[in-house]
């Protein structure tokens, strides 16, 4: 890696951009066990709207990380699954999750320390 590794057009920055969206990693992780329909993904993930899930799936598809499979069933059925490229991100996502599990309390304590006002001294008496 060169000293210019994080310039706008570098590949490392591309990877960080992919993982910086909150829902990208969550959706990729949810698809790790195989294809899923959007309604099942929403249920598995929780806390994500249909609109945001659709946008995330389209973004992941655009980047070659998921495939969309339309089934000719009646009613039509759509499933999403990880591509080979998408599967390569599971190990880094797992590593970040392991880091968060180990150090998450430290991060929360640091936030708490910054957000907690310092105790005030009593006003001087005359």
User: What is the C-alpha to C-alpha distance for residues 55 and 77, in angstroms, rounded to an integer?
Assistant: 18
User: What is the C-alpha to C-alpha distance for residues 70 and 67, in angstroms, rounded to an integer?
Assistant: 10
**Residues 49-107: tens digit of each pLDDT:** 999 999 999 999 999 999 999 988 777 789 999 999 999 999 999 999 999 999 999 99
Own/partner contacts of 71-75, CB < 8 Å, gap of 24 or more, are: none
Q: Work out the percent of the chain whose per-residue pLDDT is above 90.
A: 65
Q: Where are the alpha helices (DSSP H) in 71-121?
A: 84-87, 90-115
Band of pLDDT at residue 125, cut at 50, 70 and 90: confident
Angle of the 11-20 helix axis to the 90-115 helix axis, nearest 10 = 70
Stated pTM of the model: 0.79
């Amino acid at each position: 890696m060169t000293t210019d590794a994080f310039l706008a057009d570098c590949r490392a920055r591309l990877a960080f951009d992919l993982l910086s969206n909150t829902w990208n990693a969550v959706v990729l992780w949810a698809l790790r066990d195989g294809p899923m329909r959007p309604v099942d993904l929403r249920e598995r993930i929780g806390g994500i709207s249909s609109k945001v899930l659709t946008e995330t799936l389209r973004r992941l598809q655009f980047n070659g990380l998921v495939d969309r499979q339309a089934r000719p069933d009646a009613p039509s059925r759509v499933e999403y699954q990880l591509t080979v490229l998408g599967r390569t991100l599971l190990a880094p996502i797992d590593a970040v999750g392991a880091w968060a599990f180990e150090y998450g309390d430290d991060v929360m304590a640091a936030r708490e320390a910054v957000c907690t006002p310092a105790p005030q001294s009593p006003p001087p008496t005359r």
